[in-house]
Amino acid sequence: MGDSPYVAALFFEKIMDELQDKSVLVVDDDPGMLRAMTKVLASEGMQVTGVSDPVAVAKRLADSEKRFDLVITDLRMPMFSGRGVLALTSALPELPVIIITAFGGADVEAQTLGLGAFAFLEKPVSAAELLEVVRRALAKPPLQRLFDDLVVAMIFALIPIGALPCVAIL
C-alpha cells in the first residue's frame, strides 16, 4: 500500500496524456484550414497527417504501417467528399470520423451522422470546440478505461516499485 502515491501519479499522467501520440488523419482541400487544424492538434501532442488531396485518403487509410486513431474530414471537396471518407472507413467501426463543413444544415448533419460519422461541425470551428470533440472521439468507453486502470493497479500492487528495471538503475 505504500506505493499508492506512485499509482496515483501514474493515473494522473495517463489522464493528462490522453491525446499524446494519438494519430489523426486530417483531410481538407483548403490549405489554410488544413494548416490550422494540423497546428491545433499537433500542439496537443497528437501525430497529425494532413492530406489536401482527397484522392490520397484511400492510400493513407489502407497503409498497414500507419493506423489512425481518428479521421477529421471536410465534407465538400473536389473529386471526393467526406461521405467518401465515411464509406472508406465503414470497414473500421472503431475509427471515429469527424465531419467539418461550411455547407451544413440539420439535414446534412443527420445524413452524415446516419452514415456513421462520430460528429458533425460547421465552419468556422474554434480550436476549443475542435479539441473538445476530438477528446470525446478519442475517449475510451468507461468500462474499457476502468478495466485498463484495474490492470495497471494490479500490476503495481504485485511488483514493488524498487524492483522495476528503470528504478533499479537509479
Residues 75 and 148 in one domain: no
State yes or no: pLDDT of 13 exceeds 80.
Answer: no
- Residue bearing cell 475510451: 140
pLDDT digits (tens, 9 = 90+) for 89-127: 888 878 899 999 888 778 888 888 888 899 999 989 999
Rounded CA gap, 43 and 46, in Å? 7
* Cell, residue 72: 477529421
State the amino acid at position 19 in one-letter form. L
Residues 66 and 150 in one domain: no
Q: Which domain holds residue 152?
A: 1-18+141-170
pLDDT score at 170: 47
Residues 111 and 149 in one domain: no
- Concatenating the DSSP letter of every residue in 27-83 gives E-S-HHHHHHHHHHHHHTT-EEEEES-GGGHHHHHH-TT---SEEEEESEETTEEHH
Rounded CA gap, 54 and 71, in Å? 12
Number of domains in the chain: 2
State yes or no: pLDDT of 60 exceeds 80.
Answer: yes
Rounded CA gap, 100 and 75, in Å? 6
* Cell, residue 63: 497503409
Residues 48 and 108 in one domain: yes
State yes or no: pLDDT of 6 exceeds 70.
Answer: no
Residues 58 and 132 in one domain: yes
pLDDT score at 112: 82
pLDDT digits (tens, 9 = 90+) for 128-146: 999 999 999 998 665 665 6
Strand-pair category, 76-77 with 80-81? antiparallel
State yes or no: pLDDT of 1 exceeds 50.
Answer: no
CATH number, domain at 64? 3.40.50.2300
